[in-house]
Chains A and B, each alone.
Chain A
Amino acid sequence: MLKVESISKTFHANTVNEVRALHDVCLTIEDGSFTGIIGTNGSGKSTLLNAVAGTFMPDAGSIHLAGHNITGWPEYKRASLVGRVFQDPFAGTAPDMSIAENVAIAMKRGQHRSLQFAVTRTFRDDVADRVRTLKMGLEDRLDNPIGTLSGGQRQALTLLMATWTRPKLLLLDEHTAALDPKSAAKVAELTKIIIEREKLTALMVTHSMQQAVELPDRIIMMHRGTIVEDYQQERKQRVRVPDLMATFDRVQKRELFDESVAGMLEVQYC
């Protein structure tokens, strides 16, 4: 279970570029749930994900994951509990190293890295078996450098790596946004399959309303560093893309309703 308690983060505090990226955000994610986060640009959705991943330390609040208080843990230490897939297909893999070596690095996530050889014969077979489930023909190219693969293939592999040792939490940061539509669909499908098969707890930031409706079983909408909407269970099942658009619209309307509007209405609303 992930428990985010009143975390706040201001970037460039006390400068002209001050950005209140997160403001008193509370969020609890039950084990086995797949939550999608949507929001406008700068709404804090990626910042929230990065706060959980440990890319930066929040100004206030705490984060608990699987019974640990991970608030002060550095990014690499949280990796023992957290698997991640990034938006940039180049971010999740080491391009000069082979598929098998990349997977070997992922396999040891959160464990001691010994002086034993990383890619053994049995391990290669294991990798081949799992890579075969991606249905991309990569099982025959395990010794090729990952840099030679397409964005979609790399993203699928990153997904496999992130879930190789079953993480307590899988973080997906707009992981299909940088792919061509066909690869994006394929990676989205793999995401759903893997999360369901491994019964993972996942948190996905997405820019695609369609994806938010189709993949996760809970949708959180963020705006200006706060959670403004939380679709769960029956409400989530009922929600469709136009509903989400309408909610965005509503949130923005509320934003535009300022003191001058109130003054105007005071005279005219009767």
Chain B
Amino acid sequence: MQIEFEQRGKYLLIQPKGRLDASWSEHFTDTILRQIREGKHHLVIDASEMDFLSSAGIRALLMVYKELSIVQGSFAVSNPTAFVEQTLSTSGFQMWLKKGLPEDLPAAGVGGETDAAENSGIQSFVLNENARLSAAEPADWRPWEVVEKERVQMLTFSKNICALGIGSAAGTFEEARDHFGEFLAAAGNVVYQPPDEQAPPDYLIAEKQFLPRMQCVQALSCKGEMAHLLRFAPTKAIPFYTASALLKHILDQIEGKPAGFVVLGEIEGLVGTALIRSPGRIRENRDMTFPEVRDWLTFCGERSYSHQQALITGIVSRAGATRLPSMPSAPDVATHMHGAVFPYQPLPNGKIDLEIAIAKFFNGPPPLAVMHLTDDDRPAVGLGESALVRGACWFGALENPEVLS
């Protein structure tokens, strides 16, 4: 089987030539899914040279169709041969069949330039000009202080809060003491990494009356609605976006004011660290030095989780404007952000809703990791910063940045 692609406007015209049967279906599915991953969400299959379609082939088409429905794309089988037409219509998939090519399909040759401009690079959307976002730091543990019961806060994460910090889902301080680890919260969902290298992350989802609650030793939160959305996708010149590049875009759009943000995107590589021992076990205030620090923190050691999907929440400001630490790679940008890793799922293009987009990940396969993202600027051996390939970034200026100073 030979598969040819042609970008025509927003459509990707696919011409499979030959038999789509069991021996080719896997190759076909992989090839097409890769295209969807690259942001091609409107597919037209020109089946004029598809000689044969077996049930395995139908299954391949169905998988493509399902993937496209997730991203609100479109799917059509045009100009089918008699055999393909009969097979699809008798097996109940006549809704895919189209007599000819879509009417708004540009002529051949004028090509994908228009589409490329639309779906690559940076796109900015204003979601709600009047949206407000207020910051808070309800718990303010600093490494490596003793965790005091009075300073631990039970926080509830409703749908209008995005947050990051260190905490535990246990009900009381005594139960939580040995289980404080990195967490992040967004749109009523919390994902939390127990301080145990062998344990997978746990997660809590707001449902009906239930709202996730955490005992927090450290928390930074933003309450309210995100005013802006940034969509980013690779171009020939920019194969991926580093964290600092994205944060600079945020700051540029809101005149350098401190902001809260949530990012959902395909990972190029994450760099970060996570607790492997609960701060609740610290017996006295102290500096943690090498090698002892290795018993408390784990470092990723390499750019990790490439091609998975990251959910990142954080707060950004110009360096000096808050007491957030500045990024070594971009000394004028200061941030604190946590990232969670989920198995890859495609995101729809365009203006998408934060709550709906995130809910898909929490209702899908379980998260793989949560970490405190760092910028590894060590000379020669440094891993650099975390970077994303494509995705969405919701953000809004903080109306009360003074709580962070």
Q: Do A and B share a direct contact in the complex (Cβ within 8 angstroms)? A: yes
Inter-subunit contact B298/A254 (CB<8 Å): yes
Minimum CB–CB distance from A260 to chain B (whole Å) comes to: 5
A63–B46 Cα distance when bound, in Å, is 72
- A270 at interface, CB cutoff 8 A: yes
How many residues of chain B have a CB within 8 Å of chain A? 27
A269–B218 Cα distance when bound, in Å, is 12
Inter-subunit contact A253/B143 (CB<8 Å): no
Inter-subunit contact A260/B381 (CB<8 Å): yes
A261–B378 Cα distance when bound, in Å, is 8
- A257 at interface, CB cutoff 8 A: yes
A260-B378 contact in complex given A269-B273, A269-B372, C-beta closer than 8 Å: yes
Q: Which of B269-294 contact A (CB under 8 A)?
A: 273, 289-291, 293-294
Q: Which of B293-312 contact A (CB under 8 A)?
A: 293-294, 297-302
Inter-subunit contact B376/A250 (CB<8 Å): no
A256–B289 Cα distance when bound, in Å, is 16
The interface residues of chain B lying within 8 Å CB-to-CB of A246 are 198
A42–B215 Cα distance when bound, in Å, is 44
A256-B325 contact in complex given A264-B376, A265-B273, A265-B374, C-beta closer than 8 Å: no
**Residue ID in chain A nearest B327 by CB atoms:** A268
- B137 at interface, CB cutoff 8 A: no
Besides the known contacts A268-B375, A270-B336, 4 further A-B residue pairs in the complex with CB atoms under 8 A apart? A253-B300, A257-B297, A257-B301, A261-B299
Q: List 6 A-B contacts (CB under 8 A).
A: A246-B198, A256-B301, A256-B302, A261-B299, A262-B293, A269-B273
A257-B294 contact in complex given A246-B198, A268-B325, C-beta closer than 8 Å: yes
- B148 at interface, CB cutoff 8 A: no
Inter-subunit contact A267/B294 (CB<8 Å): no
Inter-subunit contact A264/B374 (CB<8 Å): yes
The interface residues of chain B lying within 8 Å CB-to-CB of A28 are none
Minimum CB–CB distance from B277 to chain A (whole Å) comes to: 13
A243–B376 Cα distance when bound, in Å, is 27
Inter-subunit contact A265/B299 (CB<8 Å): yes
A254–B299 Cα distance when bound, in Å, is 7
The interface residues of chain B lying within 8 Å CB-to-CB of A268 are 325, 328, 374-375
A257-B299 contact in complex given A264-B377, A268-B375, A270-B142, C-beta closer than 8 Å: yes
- A180 at interface, CB cutoff 8 A: no
Query: Which 8 pairs show the lowest CB-CB distances between chains A and B?
Result: A256-B301, A262-B290, A253-B301, A259-B290, A268-B374, A257-B299, A260-B378, A261-B299
- A210 at interface, CB cutoff 8 A: no
Q: Which of B142, B299, B336, B372 counts the most A-chain CB atoms under 10 A from its CB? A: B299
A263–B293 Cα distance when bound, in Å, is 10
Inter-subunit contact B299/A253 (CB<8 Å): yes
* Binary CB contact string for chain A from 198 to 219 against chain B (1 if under 8 A, 0 otherwise): 0000000000000000000000
- B197 at interface, CB cutoff 8 A: yes
- A258 at interface, CB cutoff 8 A: yes
Q: Which of A243, A252, A261, A267 counts the most B-chain CB atoms under 10 A from its CB? A: A261
